[in-house]
Amino acid sequence: MKIKALIISVVLASSNLLAATAYATENPAVESFTFTPTQIDLLGSDTNVNIELIVSHPFGIEDLTSFATVKDSRGSTWGVYLTRTDSPIISTQKRVTYKGVLTLPRTLTTGVYSVEVTQVKNNSTAGYQYETGKISAKKIRDLIDAENALLVTSGGDLNYKYSTFQGPSYDSSLSLTYKNNVKYTSSIKPIWKVGETFDPADFYESKVSSIPLQISSANPNVCSSDGKVLKLIAEGSCSFTVFTAKTKEFALYENKQMVQITAARIKSVLVITKIDTQTSKDLPKSVTLPEVYSAAEGYVLPKTITPAVCVTIGFTARLLSGGTCTLTYQTAATSTYLASDVYQQSFEITRNPQTISFAPPANANLSAKTLTLSATASGGGVITYQTTSIGVCSITGSTLNLLKGGNCVITATQAGTATLAPILATATVMIAEGVAKKTITCVKGNKTKKVSGTNPKCPKGYKVKG
């Protein structure tokens, strides 16, 4: 029995040691931190803020009090001690509530105030002592950068002095970081020239999506504004303001700028040298194209819009097939020049001629219903047939379908190849609606008589010769 009791004691001691080890790594837990109301109005009847903190630890909480602070954006602070509500106070009590009431002066300015509580320690009888660290409330609302703060209003007006946007991005001295760094980069700069427009959304990043960016001008004869964009209309100094208007929550926020508007950009003019006609001999092959130069961009490389016929690499055209090769030239816009017009030029790559033989019958009777078409091209390619005589005839493959009397116009086409030119031939078939006549031989004794017609009959007394 003594051995069993010893084993049980060892097991219990080990369990207690494991429990103590677990507790030794445990900080006091903040179960709840609240303040009410979460918004006070300086014109209201009450500016008291009730603050409550609940913390716990397996070995109890040591502190008799904690200290709550309310702080504005400039660092001015108001505070109140929070006292324990347990009575009598027992240092080993595992769950402790602190409460206090802070009366804020009516001389406060409106805005957003942070609320924090100083750290609380666990009971030192645990053999160690940890702290909670500074304590802030959990999220209360969605108002940006005020999610867990106390709001102080006056007549319901918060007048939150907040940077609702940032920029301008073209001012690299600001050293700002943007959420959309691809769009808002200092390498992309506005063009301050007559005829241009300035959209603040391109250079100022909004931080409050519900409030639109606006712009106003102090020099409407130089730069006019419709509230959304700035139009640069004359040379001179342009002073403008980018802003978000005051709302019930946010104060007016603005950024003032002054820039010099200079003469308008001009459009580049290109000189394009004519390219001679090429032959389809030895295709595919490369030819050198005339160089095109622009003061705005330097060399302007051609682009093909007929890649099945030709492609370009620099000022070299790779000819792939006979036909029309069409190239375009255009300079991009710069801070000094507008984009040029799109210049286009084409040149032919002639294909070798071929012949076609197509001679359908000039006449056909409707009663025949169909007629087989036949044509050959000197290049040996496939022939296709088409007709424009809708209702008179139709074509299925190489079969001509006779539909009614009239002229049936037929076109035989060979589409050509990379080196052979296409060719076609047209013919007309007259379709007659008449029904073919029959001739019969009638006999009467030694007499014979022939009778013709669409439905011939023998005269009286005669019979058809068998």
Which pLDDT does position 2 carry in this prediction? Answer: 44
Transcribe 405-416 into DSSP letters: SEEEEEEEEE--
Nearest of 183, 186, 191 to residue 168 by alpha carbon: 186
Helix (H, G, I), strand (E, B) or coil at 22: helix
Backbone angles phi, psi at 427, to 5 degrees: -140, 160
Which pLDDT does position 25 carry in this prediction? Answer: 62
Task: Name the architecture of domain 356-432.
Answer: Sandwich (2.60)
Q: Where are the domains of the chain?
A: 24-143, 165-261, 269-350, 356-432
Which pLDDT does position 454 carry in this prediction? Answer: 72
Asked if domains 165-261 and 356-432 share a fold, the reply is yes
> What's the alpha-carbon Rg for the chain, to the nearest Å?
48
Which pLDDT does position 9 carry in this prediction? Answer: 42
The shares of helix, strand and coil residues in the chain, as percent rounded to the nearest 5, are 5, 45, 50
CATH class of segment(s) 24-143: mainly beta
Nearest of 438, 461, 436, 435 to residue 450 by alpha carbon: 438
Q: pLDDT per residue over 36-61, tens digit each?
A: 999 999 999 999 999 999 999 999 99
Report pTM. Answer: 0.63
Fold of 269-350: Immunoglobulin-like (2.60.40)
Q: H or E element: which one contains 243?
A: strand 236-244
Fold of 165-261: Immunoglobulin-like (2.60.40)
Which pLDDT does position 456 carry in this prediction? Answer: 87
Cα separation, 52 vs 50, in Å, equals 7
Residue 320: CA atoms inside 13 Å, Cβ hemisphere, count? 10
Query: Cβ-count burial of 310 within 10 angstroms (0-12 exposed, 13-18 middle, 19+ buried)?
Result: buried
Which pLDDT does position 323 carry in this prediction? Answer: 92
Which pLDDT does position 435 carry in this prediction? Answer: 65
Which pLDDT does position 4 carry in this prediction? Answer: 44
Per-residue tens of pLDDT for the chain, all 466 residues? 444 443 334 334 444 434 444 455 689 999 999 999 999 999 999 999 999 999 999 999 999 999 999 999 889 999 999 999 999 999 999 999 999 999 999 999 999 999 999 999 999 888 899 999 999 999 999 999 999 999 999 999 999 999 999 999 999 899 899 999 999 999 999 999 999 999 999 999 999 999 999 999 999 999 999 999 999 999 999 999 999 999 999 999 999 999 999 999 999 999 999 999 999 989 999 999 999 999 888 999 999 999 999 999 999 999 999 999 999 999 999 989 999 999 999 999 999 899 999 999 999 999 999 999 999 999 999 999 999 999 999 999 999 999 999 999 999 999 988 889 899 999 999 999 876 677 888 888 888 888 887 788 898 888 888 7
